[in-house]
Homo-oligomer: A and B are copies of this chain.
Amino acid sequence: MEKKRIALLGHRFMGRAHSNAWRQVSKFFDTPYEPVLQVVCGRDQKDLQQFADQWGWAEVETDWTKVMARDDIDIIDIALPTHLHAETAIAAAEAGKHIFCEKPFCNSIAQAEAMLDVAEKAGVVHYLNHNYRRCPAVFQAKKMIDAGELGEILHWRGAYQQSWLLNPNHPIDWKLRKKTAAAGPLWDLGSHAVDLAHFLVGDFSSVTCQTTQFQKRRPLAENPSKKGDVEVECSALMLAEFTNGAQGTIETTRYASGRRNRHTFEIYGTGGALTWDMEDMNRLKFYSEKDPRETAGFRDIMVTEPVHEYVKNWWPPGHIIGYEHTFVHAAADFLRAVESGQRIAPNFADGVRITKVLEAALNSSESNARVFL
């Protein structure tokens, strides 16, 4: 099998998830290429080497610009903090590398459009890793919507709730600084929620957003004895209208007690409804207006059948998969896109689309008014 060599930028949480995906993908999926874990880039030499040893990356590199210049690297995998996406993705595209880019896409519409523009001109495969699309239950939802099972969609009710900032001593790290993260949960969690809304409902025609700060001062990550300002919002609540007339809400917060990683949607159409929750990601709930009234009810579909996308590559029915499997699915589809030269979704165009919604939401929260897209 032909090999494709990967350079991974970043070696924290997402670095692990991506490394695992590249390692696993050819074991469970029939891929056109064998991905090679060639080089991992980072700034902390010691941590970097340990990470490379652990995950089987052949080389380490502290200067990411060097890997762009290498002929033997086919794929740049960006798993860095958000503010570093634009620079690295643009360099990768200019070097003719295919790009597997972690979300959130970038910090601004300007960056987003530049990234898309360069990638398109370079003709590389560009992928934006909103991995939840590749959860089999979410894919199944999409399939059902496309088949008309929900009729015309009327309502979207999305939320992405976490609780880690309830700890008042959680320090200010890159996720709580405007420069590095662009915004708070709106960006980090809201980008996922908006992506699913794009995937399952369509384009937004307007957004109205309300943000707040529950805790303004926190210890600094680099010096916990000192406090600094939290520069991003603590929660962001949105109203949305879609171009097809559907009405929606999206709620994002890091202050929802009891919710660890609750990414959920409810979709209501003229023909039925679907609901999903990432914390029970193998399940999809489905109500059909076609069922006789007497026996109608939300069906608790265990999306673990061979007929469900991605599932037959794993285990028999009823044997659930977990969080990291969505990354493996993304890696499989990405390699196929590299082979076929066809677009994979979501991609940088989706990144632009999402960033426009998120920026409009930020503008709305400042103007206290609805913003039309």
Binding site for B on A (CB under 8 A): 13, 17, 19-20, 23, 27, 54-56, 140, 144, 149-150, 154-155, 157, 159, 161-162, 164, 166, 208, 210, 212, 214, 235, 237-239, 241, 245, 247-249, 251, 253, 255-262, 268-273, 278-281, 283-287, 289, 291, 293-302, 304-305, 307-308, 314-325, 368-370
- A212 to B293: give the CA distance in the assembly, Å: 27
Cross-chain contact A273 with B260 (CB below 8 angstroms):
no
For A235, the chain B residues whose CB sits under 8 A away are 154-155, 247
Copies of this chain, tallied across the complex? 4
Cross-chain contact B273 with A257 (CB below 8 angstroms):
yes
Cross-chain contact B318 with A279 (CB below 8 angstroms):
yes
- A285 to B299: give the CA distance in the assembly, Å: 9
Interface-central residue, A269, A283, A302, by most chain B CB under 10 Å? A302
Q: Which of B13, B272, B317, B368 interacts with A260 by CB under 8 Å?
A: B317
For A245, the chain B residues whose CB sits under 8 A away are 212, 214
For A241, the chain B residues whose CB sits under 8 A away are 210, 212
**Chain B residue at smallest Cβ distance from A258:** B287
- A248 to B239: give the CA distance in the assembly, Å: 12
Q: Which of B17, B27, B255, B320 interacts with A155 by CB under 8 Å?
A: B255
Cross-chain contact B324 with A315 (CB below 8 angstroms):
yes
**Chain B residue at smallest Cβ distance from A323:** B319
- A174 to B291: give the CA distance in the assembly, Å: 30
For A269, the chain B residues whose CB sits under 8 A away are 257
14 contacts between A and B (CB under 8 A): A13-B316, A154-B255, A154-B256, A208-B210, A210-B247, A212-B241, A214-B245, A260-B302, A260-B316, A284-B297, A293-B305, A295-B299, A295-B301, A368-B370
A164 to chain B, nearest CB (A): 8
Cross-chain contact A316 with B257 (CB below 8 angstroms):
no
Cross-chain contact A295 with B287 (CB below 8 angstroms):
no
- A271 to B2: give the CA distance in the assembly, Å: 49
Known: A144-B295, A297-B302. A212 touches B23 (CB 8 A): no
A94 to chain B, nearest CB (A): 33
- A195 to B79: give the CA distance in the assembly, Å: 42
Cross-chain contact B258 with A298 (CB below 8 angstroms):
yes
For A280, the chain B residues whose CB sits under 8 A away are 280, 320
Cross-chain contact A257 with B268 (CB below 8 angstroms):
yes
- A251 to B260: give the CA distance in the assembly, Å: 24
Cross-chain contact A239 with B257 (CB below 8 angstroms):
no
Cross-chain contact A294 with B140 (CB below 8 angstroms):
yes
- A318 to B317: give the CA distance in the assembly, Å: 23
Cross-chain contact B210 with A261 (CB below 8 angstroms):
no
For A298, the chain B residues whose CB sits under 8 A away are 258, 299-300
For A308, the chain B residues whose CB sits under 8 A away are 294
Cross-chain contact B286 with A297 (CB below 8 angstroms):
yes
Q: Which of B212, B258, B299, B318 interacts with A273 by CB under 8 Å?
A: B258
**Chain B residue at smallest Cβ distance from A150:** B257
For A317, the chain B residues whose CB sits under 8 A away are 164, 260-261
A93 to chain B, nearest CB (A): 30
- A319 to B281: give the CA distance in the assembly, Å: 9
Cross-chain contact A261 with B297 (CB below 8 angstroms):
no
